[in-house]
């Protein structure tokens, strides 16, 4: 497939339900508005993110919340079923992730950053990285034919602006202005009602929505936007380097 023939399908991987909303939902909204099909995939079921609910009830609650959120974008939602808090980079999850890339014919994959604060997010970054590379290989066991070209692979920003050691993250490759679509992010995050309680009890964050706003404003202040999301494009060997999101959203993108 030529560079100009990328399938207009974007697949966003996250460790947990609500991560996509916090990290990249504004960009997904902008891409959806330009005709891209959107699929949101969580690698774990979020079952440990419950207070006053057992694991099974939490999984069912969070699945319903995630589906409600994805519906706001008109996006598909899939969960690969890893256990929350115990996400490992396994052969089974790599195969499942690349299977989904083939199934939705992903042209763009977005995943976590390997410098993320959360161990599950770092595992998710590793799984997504490996799976993107595998999605074109014919010898990988899969129910679907291999993709004809490796999806463009991007990392979204973490929560907070530092790595786990408190150092500033590398300078983002680009920022996306999400000011005009921030209401969509807010509506999607608002679907995750169970997590507002978890953030309050476990992390002392009583204003879940405000937390996202402050993060997006912090990135925005580096780009001259009111609210922004930050991205790094995966440019390692074997990965395509076409600046596809940057081109698709050229009117909303700042490359510092």
Distance CA 26, CA 177 (A): 8
Q: Does 65 bind Zn ion (CB under 5 A)?
A: no
Strand order of the β-sheet with 37-44 is: 76-82, 37-44, 9-14, 108-111, 152-156, 228-233, 174-177, 253-254
**Nearest CB to Zn ion, comparing residues 19 and 99:** 19
Distance CA 246, CA 180 (A): 17
**Nearest CB to Zn ion, comparing residues 32 and 43:** 43
Report CA Rg, the chain.
17
Distance (Å) of CA 160 to CA 71, 117, 165 = 27, 8, 12
Shortest distance, CB of residue 16 to Zn ion, whole angstroms?
4
**Nearest CB to Zn ion, comparing residues 18 and 105:** 18
Give the x-and-dash track for 3-42 against Zn ion (CB under 5 A). Answer: ------------xx--x-----------------------
**Nearest CB to Zn ion, comparing residues 9 and 44:** 44
Sign of the C-alpha dihedral computed for residues 212, 215, 219 and 224 taken in this order: positive
Shortest distance, CB of residue 175 to Zn ion, whole angstroms?
21
Sign of the C-alpha dihedral computed for residues 172, 98, 67 and 31 taken in this order: positive
50, 40, 33: which is closest to 178 by C-alpha?
33
Shortest distance, CB of residue 106 to Zn ion, whole angstroms?
21
Structural tokens at position 155: 């990392």
Burial 15-41, CB ≥16 within 10 A → b, else e: bbbbbbbbbbbbbbbbbbeeebbbbbb
Shortest distance, CB of residue 14 to Zn ion, whole angstroms?
6
Shortest distance, CB of residue 116 to Zn ion, whole angstroms?
8
**Nearest CB to Zn ion, comparing residues 94 and 121:** 121
Count residues binding Zn ion (CB under 5 A). 3
- Helix, strand and coil in the chain, % to nearest 5: 45, 15, 40
Shortest distance, CB of residue 112 to Zn ion, whole angstroms?
8
Q: Which residue minimizes CB distance to Zn ion?
A: 16
Shortest distance, CB of residue 115 to Zn ion, whole angstroms?
14
**Nearest CB to Zn ion, comparing residues 13 and 225:** 13
**Nearest CB to Zn ion, comparing residues 127 and 244:** 127
Please give the residue ranges that form the binding site for Zn ion (CB under 5 A).
15-16, 19
């Amino acid at each position: 497939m030529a560079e100009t023939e990328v399938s207009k399908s974007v697949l966003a991987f996250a460790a947990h339900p609500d991560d996509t909303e916090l990290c990249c939902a504004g960009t997904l909204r902008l891409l959806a508005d330009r005709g891209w099909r959107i699929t949101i995939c969580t690698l774990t079921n979020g079952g440990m993110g419950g207070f006053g609910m057992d694991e099974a009830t939490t999984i069912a609650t969070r699945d319903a919340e995630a589906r409600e959120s994805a519906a706001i974008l008109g996006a598909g939602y899939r969960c690969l079923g890893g256990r929350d808090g115990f996400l490992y980079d396994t052969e089974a999850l790599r195969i499942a992730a690349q299977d989904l890339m083939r199934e939705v014919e992903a042209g763009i994959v977005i995943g976590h950053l390997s410098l993320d604060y959360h161990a599950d997010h770092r595992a998710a970054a590793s799984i997504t990285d490996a799976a993107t590379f595998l999605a074109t290989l014919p010898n990988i066991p899969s129910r679907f034919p291999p993709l004809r070209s490796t999806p463009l692979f991007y990392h979204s920003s973490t929560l907070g602006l530092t790595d786990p050691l408190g150092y500033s993250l590398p300078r983002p490759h680009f920022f996306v202005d999400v000011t005009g679509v921030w209401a969509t992010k807010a509506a999607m995050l608002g679907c995750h009602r169970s997590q507002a309680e978890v953030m309050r009890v476990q992390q002392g964050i009583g204003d879940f929505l405000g937390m996202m706003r402050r993060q997006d404003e912090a990135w925005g202040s580096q780009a001259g936007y009111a609210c922004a999301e930050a991205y790094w494009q995966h440019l390692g060997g074997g990965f395509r380097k076409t600046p596809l999101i940057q081109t698709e959203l050229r009117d909303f993108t700042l490359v510092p």
